[in-house]
Structure 1
Amino acid sequence: MIKLFDAHCHLQDSRILSKTPQLIKAAQDNGVVCFAVNGVSEKDWHLVKEMSENHPSVIPCFGLHPWFVAQRSPSWFKTLKEYFDATPSAAVGEIGVDKGSHGRQIDFSEQVQVLRQQLELAKELNKPASVHCVRAFGDLLELMKSIGPFPAGVILHSYLGSAEMVPEFSKLGAYFSFSGFLMSLKVNKAKKMLKMVSSDRILLETDAPDALPNSNIDSLFFIEGDASLPEHIRGNSTPSTSSSSTDASMLPKETLNHPANIRNVLDYVASLLEISKEELAEQSYQNAVRLFSYEGSKVLQM
């Protein structure tokens, strides 16, 4: 069986937390060896830490996501550093900048200030950082240039930036991680951008429970009890053997994504790159292993 590494997900999310052990087991049964689980605020870092202690396959990541910048406490950065001191196996994330519909509601200069602090911390700790960026790639590139390069790596998670910026980010130590969100881009644009990413810098992720791949419904894993699912699908949490032609675009936007659906991301990216699934799985797995093999990492113990 091919081995896969989910380079970015949120298995501590309150929508799926109670089902996490079953989700991890199902994904492992389908070849997923590791899950980089990203905290987003002071309120969930303890959940990520606990999950990593209970599941050898979970790589903990701690960070303050731009959407939660306004709610941070005065001691947030001190608390964050304490989590890294107490958890040598942790990477940095999810951090970033956002000028999208949600991000526009949060002061951008504050987002940049918080991101700068966390990128400088990642560099100081010699750990990779998982970065969220929506409609702010120019700002992110300038910030990374002012702090970088980043020998330990920066993961541009669910990358949807331009093909032209790939070499610029690569020079600074960036890796490019792809999720089901890639399917929202026009095929030609996605293909052009993917072809610019060097094979030693490509990663795959699910961003579960978000970013459900827009694949044929029969090829997807669903999360048991997901109330957004239509009645006829709700009882089927594993891929079906029937041949429905319906794709996931017909499902409600809030439909939850299962971490085993990284297989669908693999299939899609491999098809655009015109390489075999096996080749892409091996490349992306080895890239993730290398990236997450910092001092104290769980990957070094596997």
Structure 2
Amino acid sequence: MKLFDAHCHLQDERLKPDFDQVLCRAKDVGVVEMACCGSSEADWLHTLEISRRIPGCVPAFGIHPWYAASRSAGWKKELVDLLNAVPSAGVGEIGLDHAIKSRNDDDQMSLFIEQLDIARRLHRPVSMHCRRAWEALMSALNTGPELAAGFVVHSYSGSAELVEQLSRAGAYFSFSGTITRSGNTRGHRSVQAAPIDRLLIETDAPDLMPVIDGVSATGPNEPANLMFVLNAVAELRNMTPDEIAEITRRNARRLFMGEADV
């Protein structure tokens, strides 16, 4: 069984003390590819360095809405230059977050649209963050042409009803450890509603630990825990873990690596 973790942050300092073992444990369970997403200018070069060290690690660079206010005056040129230097890289993690109390919605939207425009111009896939901002997200997507290289809404938390609307815009849907929670009926319905050819699985390591053996685990999450997400998705879709592993890996390679289906 081979797995693709569609969204993680290997550059996060919480993984540093045990980093080599994190990679070994991922390999042991079959995680052979990962999309490692930057969050701010401060971690882009570390993200790049990690992606060059690890076979199958696809980098993405972008400014997360949490760090919108701290971006530099020259962030756009820095991002474009980096993407041009790394043709395999995507744009992310970018998006909108209306769940945080201290925020500027207009500034978030402006930053998001600017980064979408960069992705369109450079023909790069996009990894998106969205919390409690679904109407604004759809508005942003409608401000320009289709994202021809594709995009994924990571750790999808929207409704099953919104899946169809986002699908028409070209979305992939990535599900994280949150769907291992028995009470997350909204997430379970969304897993079941997602088109099978747009379905992805992720850890969002080191965040969003899954439920393990019925217990809400603590501590830094890691790519090896993708197995728990895989098993939950397989159960919700009434399919085998092997089937979901093959499908989600094929979908992720299509999105992040531009690989045609065979």
Instruction: Note whether the superposition's TM-score is higher than 0.5.
Output: yes
Cα separation, 2, equivalents of 1:33 and 1:66? 29
Question: Is the 1:95–1:118 Cα contact (8 Å) retained in structure 2?
Answer: yes
Aligned 1:190-201 pairs, distance under 5 A = 190-201=187-198
2:177 matched residue in structure 1: 180
Give the drift of 1:184: 4.5
2:62 maps to 1:63: yes
Question: Is the 1:160–1:182 Cα contact (8 Å) retained in structure 2?
Answer: no
Cα separation, 2, equivalents of 1:264 and 1:106? 33
Secondary structure of the residue that 1:164 maps to in structure 2?
Answer: helix
Secondary structure of the residue that 1:109 maps to in structure 2?
Answer: helix
Secondary structure of the residue that 1:60 maps to in structure 2?
Answer: strand
1:248 matched residue in structure 2: 215
1:161 matched residue in structure 2: 158
The residue type paired with residue 15 of structure 2 is I
2:257 maps to 1:293: yes
Cα separation, 2, equivalents of 1:59 and 1:185? 31
Aligned 1:132-281 pairs, distance under 5 A = 132-184=129-181, 186-216=183-213, 247-249=214-216, 251-252=217-218, 255-281=219-245
Number of aligned residue pairs: 260
Cα separation, 1, equivalents of 2:129 and 2:27? 26
TM-score, length of structure 1 as denominator length:
0.82
Cα separation, 2, equivalents of 1:18 and 1:45? 20
The residue type paired with residue 263 of structure 1 is M
Cα separation, 2, equivalents of 1:148 and 1:174? 14
Identity over aligned residues, as a percent?
A: 42
Question: Is the 2:234–2:244 Cα contact (8 Å) retained in structure 1?
Answer: yes
Cα separation, 1, equivalents of 2:19 and 2:144? 36
Secondary structure of the residue that 1:12 maps to in structure 2?
Answer: coil
Question: Is the 1:128–1:154 Cα contact (8 Å) retained in structure 2?
Answer: yes
Q: Which runs of 4+ in 1 moved over 3 A?
A: 183-188
CA-atom RMSD in angstroms? 1.6
1:223 matched residue in structure 2: none
The residue type paired with residue 287 of structure 1 is N
Question: Which protein is bigger by CA-based radius of gyration?
Answer: 1
TM-score, length of structure 2 as denominator length:
0.94
Cα separation, 1, equivalents of 2:193 and 2:118? 29
Secondary structure of the residue that 2:32 maps to in structure 1?
Answer: strand
2:87 maps to 1:88: yes
Secondary structure of the residue that 2:152 maps to in structure 1?
Answer: strand
Over 3 Å counting, the alpha-carbon distance change for 1:248 and 1:148 in structure 2 is farther
